[in-house]
Amino acid sequence: SFFRSESGASTAIAFILLLGIVFTVFSIVHLGYVPEWKTDAEHSHMGEIWRDMTELKSKIDRTTIFMMSDPNTTASNITIMMPLRTGSMEMPFTGSSRFSGTVSVNTDTCNMTIVPANSSERSINCGTISYTSNNKYYVDQTFKYENGALILAQKEQSVMKHYPMIRISEVSNNNYNFSINAIEIRGLEDTLSSNSDCSVHLTDFSFSPFYDSYDYENVSSFELKIYTDHPDAWGEYFNETMKRAGLEDGKDYSLNLEENERLYFSFPKNRSECSLNRLYVGKTTVNA
């Protein structure tokens, strides 16, 4: 009887110790590893969405180049369905639900105004296509396509990762051409929040010349104003682009931020040795 009671007690103690080990291992995995797994999974998911947004920009750029090379093209008949992998599979053993985010069309401000010398201003309502994450572990990010640029925004900071179709070339000594192709996203303001995949339909492509200084006289300078939620990203882009062209801020051109939402650019600056040879602006229009 005494032996049997000792055996029962040791069995109970062993079971309790084994149960404690199991709960300890489960707690270590749940508290130490699962958050890392979920963070890595959300990071990978953001990478997939970024690749989708990059492909969206690429398709619009390729279609624009195609229309520019063939003015008689029937690109208005082209329809592009751009899938966005906003959804995901549930992670096993973690109790995690699907990732979710918000896809928006034309819910943010992006306008570009061009003011040639001795001429009235001309404006383009560029529109936007964006994705905003709803992460629980990895930092939330916004990917936004506006006026041909793809911008990554994170908290209060933003950076332009893929550039718009703006070209600056020196045709002769200190004599420059500016070629700007604006992208106008048309369509009703729309927002979709989902944890499953979705797609953006691009239709009714068209390209047309918007402004050409060769059609006017005495166009020796111009001003460019961009209204955007990310003026710092646009400002950094213009500084890098002008620097690569061999131009200096404050000497050859002016670049200022006004009211934290408008970028003001002018070329050439007064008393600069540089001059404007030609300003050409084209516009691609697409419905989203």
| pLDDT digit string, tens, across residues 12-46 | 777 777 777 777 766 665 566 566 667 778 888 88
Sign of the four-CA dihedral 161, 165, 166, 170: positive
Q: Retrieve residue 118's tokens.
A: 């001795």
Rounded distance between C-alpha atoms, residue 87 and residue 47, angstroms? 13
Q: Retrieve residue 99's tokens.
A: 């990732």
pLDDT higher than 80, residue 99 = no
Q: Do the beta carbons of residue 183 and residue 58 sit within 8 Å?
A: no
pLDDT higher than 80, residue 62 = yes
Region 280-286: mean pLDDT is 94
pLDDT of residue 13: 75
pLDDT of residue 110: 94
Q: Which of 237-241, 270-274, 279-283 has the lowest mean pLDDT?
A: 270-274
pLDDT of residue 209: 92
Q: Retrieve residue 145's tokens.
A: 């396509």
Rounded distance between C-alpha atoms, residue 155 and residue 29, angstroms? 30
Sign of the four-CA dihedral 125, 131, 134, 139: negative
Mean pLDDT of the chain: 86
pLDDT of residue 280: 95
Higher pLDDT, 68 or 275: 275
Give the pLDDT confidence of 115-152 residue by residue, as tens digits: 999 888 999 999 999 999 988 888 899 999 999 999 99
- The region that residue 147 occupies, defined by phi over 0 for left and psi between -120 and 50 for alpha, beta otherwise, is left
Percent of the chain with pLDDT over 90: 54
pLDDT of residue 33: 56
Identify any residues that bridge with 200 across adjacent strands, giving them in sequence order: 82
Q: pTM surpassing 0.95?
A: no
Rounded distance between C-alpha atoms, residue 193 and residue 44, angstroms? 19
Residue where the block lists tokens 């080990």: 21
pLDDT of residue 14: 77
pLDDT of residue 148: 94
Region 157-174: mean pLDDT is 93
Instruction: Report the first-to-last Cα separation within the chain, whole angstroms.
Output: 83
